[in-house]
Structures are given as C-alpha cells and as structure tokens.
Amino acid sequence: MKWSARLVFFFMLIITQVVVVKALAQQATQKYYNAKNQHYYSKKHQAYYDSLMKMNYDRVFPILGDKVYKKGFDIPFPIGVMINNFWGNQDMALSNLKIGVRTPDTTLGPADMSEVIVFSKVNAKVYNINTRVDVWVLPFLNVYGLLAYLPYASTEVNLAEPVELSSKPEQSGWTWGLGLMGAGGLGPVWIQADYNFTWSDMQLLTNKVFTQILGFRVGHVIKSKVDPQKNFSIWVGAMGIFLNNETKGEVSLSEALPDVPQEKIDEIKQSYSSWYEKLSPTGKKVADEIVQRLQDRLDGRPKGETYILYEMDKAPKSKWAGVIGAQYQFNKRWQLRAESNCIGKDRFSVLLSINYRFLGFKKR
C-alpha cells in the first residue's frame, strides 16, 4: 500500500550522510619514513618530510598541530568541504501499524491494523546529494556538519495480507546533522571511529526522523614513489544505523492507491471473512470507509479528498552492514573517493565524493 511505502524511504538518506566516507584520517598514519626505506623514496620525499619537521605551523586548527608536524607526521589540512553523491537501497521492517481515515465529513482512527496487514517485502531506494564541512579540532578528532537533499526517493511495498497489493511511491526531503570522528595510526594501518546524528524532514511525515549512525573503518595508505602528497588508500569496515522507531503521517487516498481496479476492490470485500472480525469497532469503520471511497472514485462519484492516516514503527531490516572503500589523493587539497555498503544482506549503496581541504585561519 503506497501510504506505508512513503514512510520507509527515509532510512537511506542516513546512509547518505550517512554513509559519508570518513577516510580523512588516512594521512595521520604517514609518519616520517625511516632510514632503511630511503632507497624507496625520491629526494623530493626527503626534502618534503624534512620541511614538515622544521616548519613553524601557524594555523588555529588542529590544536597541537605544530607538535604533530615536528614529530614527523603529515596530517590533513584542518578544514574540508566534501560534496557527495549517494545511491542506495535497503530492506525495511514495519510493525505496530495503525491506520485511520480523514474525509471532509469525519475522522476515524488511527486503529490497530497490525493483526490484519502483513507486508511481504519493503524496499527503499534513494538518491541524494549532500555537503559536509569538517574541522580537525585536534590531530585525532574531527567535528563536522552535514546537509543533504533527496531529490528522489522511492519505496516498493509488497502487501501479502489481507490481499496482495504492490506500490512504488516517490517523494523528496532534507536532512541535516552533526558528527564526530576519532582517528589514528596503528603500525601500517589507520583506524577510525565515527558517530553522527541527523534529523530528516520529509514530505509525507508529520514528525521529523532522528537517526544515529556509528561506523568503524581500518585502512592502509599506499604512498606515491614520485610525489609525497599523492597517495591511494583502501579500507574495510562496518556501519550501523539506529533511528527513532515511531513514524506518523498522512497521504491522500489518490496518491496511496491511485489505480485500484474493480477486481481488486471485489477481492478485498470477498476476503472480509478472513480478517474483518479481527479489527476493533473503529478499525472496522476505517476499513469500510476506505473501501467505500475506493468504490465511489471508481464509479465516478468522489466525495471530496480522502486522507489515509498512519502510525507505525520502522527500522532497517539489518542494522549493520560491511563497507569497503578507496580514495585517491591528488594533493593535500584535493581527494576523490568511493565507498560501498556491499558486505552483508538487506543493504547496498554506492557513494562517490570529492573533497577540498585548506589550512584555515592563522593564529593571532
């Protein structure tokens, strides 16, 4: 049923943001190369790292940045702006479903329908564009804000009971939030942990969706032999999505069920005996009103716009999924990266992004 599908899509925007690749930590593992590896690197590398250790770092962020450079570490420029393009899909689980109806004359419900309505599969697909601005406050701590726009989100809902129905609604919306990331090096790898929280405002939801994302990644930096600022990074990890379960909203009957033929209406009426008595008195009135409004519309005698009211709990079918990713760094200002949620079941996503970094304000 289309109205229920609308509620599910939002999960993906999180992966958007969500799902933003956090490989900014990679350069934190690039310690000054030791003497036994000097034959591998060019004289340009030696001059570059020597200059880092000798320079007078005069920028506000990261705090303690001058001490880190003097110890032979090459860290990212402190401020970054990232533009991300994201596509993904996720299977969802719905429960505790309540349905109501609002007409020009009356409002009924919402009434509990969880004993009657059974979904066989709910899958949401989304494309979003998001921007993230971040600051390395400390060499190991990054703080960021993000803003995402979803120009396209569709959800395919397959209803198994009381009758088989399928729908694929579409809508758009906005998401914004904040996050923290901790990162550091351990031998030949870098390790990163990320937490962010967001709010989403979507067309068909009366409440904003609060979501929390937790991610862990472990990666390795492959340095260029020619240019000390160029490198290629790869990583693996896991990401979990946790959101407030309760969803409330309404959608017009014409949007939720736009093309219901007479055969399907007759099937609903004929199936009454198998589920109708399970409903509360209010639930029976809601079901009767919806079926009657569908019949009136089909007969060419609509009685004003009818709205389906809904309340439900929803969650990703699998909260955790594995990720793989890679990044090419052209220099310390420009990086190009990709990441995918493709390890595990019930979720798949692809993220492509470009990142620009700069030094920021000088100390007074």
What is the DSSP track for 174-192? EEEEEEEEEEEEETTEEEE
Contact 243, 13 (CB under 8 A): no
Domain ranges of the chain: 2-99+119-246+315-358
Model confidence, pTM:
0.79
Residues of the chain with pLDDT under 70: 1-41
Contacts of 333 (CB under 8 A, 6+ apart): 77, 356, 357, 358
φ and ψ at 128, to 5 degrees? -140, 160
pLDDT for 50: 86
Nearest to 155 by CA among 316, 3, 310: 3
pLDDT for 21: 33
pLDDT for 24: 37
pLDDT for 38: 44
CA-to-CA distance for 91 and 97, rounded, in angstroms?
17
pLDDT for 41: 60
- CATH number for domain 2-99+119-246+315-358, candidates 2.40.128, 1.20.1070, 3.50.50, 1.25.40: 2.40.128
